[in-house]
Structure formats: structure tokens, C-alpha cells
Amino acid sequence: MLSEALMKQLIRDVPDFPAPGVMFRDITPVLQDAKAFREVVDSMVECVAPMKPDVIVGIESRGFILGAPVALQLGVGFVPVRKAGKLPADTIRAEYALEYGTSVVEMHRDGIEAGMRVAIVDDLLATGGTAKAAVQLIEELGGEVAGAAFLIELEFLHGRNQLEGYEVCTLVKY
């Protein structure tokens, strides 16, 4: 397995993206390295398997890249959470706060059945707003949030506080 130090070597720092003063953590080099990508997915499976999910929810867009192979390895389904207006069937929506303003995510109304255990997978836990919105969608449909797994956690933004009471697993912390 890749150590946290090796994963950090592969995660590219992009200063001033998408805005001045922001250090973007780019996982593209991890995805380009087949061995590293496999090991990250395997590590995420190790995080999520004990949660015993019935389904994985992946948050747009890098949560799709990581969540779908985690779901396949665990032999469970995958449900996308997308930006508003991107899903074709009947949806539910949750609004969440951004640094300046708000945003909305949606999930298909038939994506989660009452009583399902759900694990959320995404690439990044920053302020926790998007993950908390996914929790709201899952619970609105009667699902039980078993926990969440992230490749990267930006600890200084305290996003874990938004997920208080839920199991959270992260592979790399900044």
C-alpha cells in the first residue's frame, strides 16, 4: 500500500487555483499512475468495507472516479450526487453554503431505498458542506449514513465538524 508520504508526493499542489490564495490539491497524477490509482482505491475499500454499506454515494466529479471502483470491489451499487440540473429523472436537492454564496446538489429520488446503509466517497473533505448536503439527501430518502471516506482532508478547514456523529476515514491529511 502507498504510504501517506508517497501519496502526498503524487498529489500535485497548484497554487492560486481556482482563486488567488487557494492551494489546490490535484489528484490527477495519482489517477495517471495505474499502480497508485489501484492502491488508493484499495485503501479506500479498506476504509469503507467495515462500514458494511449497501450502496456507495459518490459526489461529483472526482467522487465518481473513486467511488465507482470502490463500489465494484465491494459488490454494491453506486449512486451519483450531482450539481443541480444534471440528473435526468426525478430528483431531490440540498442547498449548502460556499465561502461566498450557496450551491445545490441533487440525487435521484429512487437512488436510495429506506433502510439502506450508505457510504459516501469523495476525493476531498474541505469545509464539509458538500458532504453534509449528501448526508441530507441520503437521510431524506430514509437511508442510513454508514460513514464517509475521502482521499484528502484539509484539516485546517474543519470539514469533519460538519460530519460529527458519522464515521469519517481519510487517507491523506494536510
- Whole-angstrom Cα distance, residue 100 to residue 122? 22
- Whole-angstrom Cα distance, residue 31 to residue 11? 10
62 tagged catalytic = yes
Does residue 5 sit in helix, strand or coil?
helix
In the chain, the amino acid numbered 126 is: A
Q: What are residue 58's phi and psi, to 5 degrees?
A: -110, 135
Catalytic residue among 25, 62, 82, 153: 62
99 tagged catalytic = yes
- Whole-angstrom Cα distance, residue 159 to residue 155? 7
Q: Which residues contact 122 (CB under 8 A, 6 or more apart)?
A: 58, 59, 62, 63, 66, 67, 130, 131, 148, 149, 150, 151
Instruction: Kindly list the catalytic residues.
Output: 62, 99
